[in-house]
Amino acid sequence: MNKLRIYPSPPYQFNQLKKFVNMLLADKLHGHSRKTLIIITQALLNVKRAVLSELAREIALPIVFKHRLRRVWRFLAKTTFDYQIPCQGLIVWTLTALKDRQYLEIILDWTQIRKDHILVFSIPYHKRSIPLFWIVAPADDFSPHKIERACVHYFLAAVPFELRAKLVFIADRGFGNVEFFRFLQQQGVKFVIRVAGKVWIRTKGYQGCVNQIPLRAKKIRWLSRVLYRKTRGITLNLLL
């Protein structure tokens, strides 16, 4: 028989998690499932590893290990729970809490876990980032550009209108294509996205590849109203 292990957790942690989860999911997830989500989250905060057996050992329930493991598995295996729904509340809550910032920087990033491609929208906080929204791309129809635009639409729809002017999307060169820049301009949001050095530009006194622009050591240059690409180009500001 597996030895029963119960880890009493500080009441304040459970109460804070309960309050937070109820705020996000009170009308979207029934009580038993919300409680399971809270104890799994509490275990994850303690273990800091997404391993089912370790989470099951950590959760504070007076039942034997195999039943705790089964409860964790059943909850995580549910297909009816739409994780994007609580993201709406999470976006509003987090951005509102950080509304005094001059800018609300939203980091866009693709990551891969085994065969799954995941797009994550997160906000930097104390040298880390808080995930606000994410989506697992369908393996049978992986179209990153289409998914990126759809997710930006979804994210912007959840952001309180009075905070949209503070948004700044930040991304690596994988997002640095003309059509995505044009799309973001059409949405009226600011963005800072790294571009490839071989891209053609035209600015006052220069036209050619970005990586051929002469730069002084440890100096930066700000180029305003740059024509980015010859074909179907777009006007941008460029920081070198």
Domain containing 131 — which CATH number? Answer: 3.90.350.10
220: in domain: no
Query: Domain span at residue 27?
Result: 11-76
- Residues 124, 128, 129, CA angle at the centre, nearest 5°? 45
Task: Indicate the helix (H) or strand (E) that contains 72.
Answer: helix 65-76
Specify the pLDDT at position 42: 87
| Number of structural domains the chain divides into | 2
Specify the pLDDT at position 140: 78
N residues, the chain: 240
Specify the pLDDT at position 11: 52
Specify the pLDDT at position 18: 84
Same domain, 143 and 176: yes
Cα dihedral 67→68→70→73 (10° resolution): 180
53: in domain: yes
Specify the residue for token string 């029963």: 4
218: in domain: no
Residue segments in the chain with a per-residue pLDDT below the cut of 50: 1-8
Specify the pLDDT at position 225: 93
Same domain, 64 and 139: no
Same domain, 88 and 190: yes
Same domain, 70 and 53: yes
Q: What CA–CA distance (Å, rounded) separates 179 from 58? A: 47
Same domain, 89 and 186: yes
63: in domain: yes
Specify the pLDDT at position 79: 63
Cα atoms found within 13 Å of the Cα of residue 30, Cβ hemisphere only:
3
Two tokens, residue 49: 């590893």
DSSP string, 193-237: E---TT-EEEETTEEEEGGGS---TT---EEEEEEE-STT-EEEE
Two tokens, residue 219: 């100096």
Whether pTM exceeds 0.85: no
- The answer to whether 129 and 123 have CB atoms below 8 angstroms apart is yes
Among 29, 44, 76, the domain-final residue is 76
Identity of the amino acid at 21: V
Specify the pLDDT at position 6: 43
Same domain, 115 and 183: yes
Specify the pLDDT at position 2: 42
| Distance set, CA 231 to CA 144, 181, 216 (Å) | 22, 14, 30
168: in domain: yes
Specify the pLDDT at position 191: 96
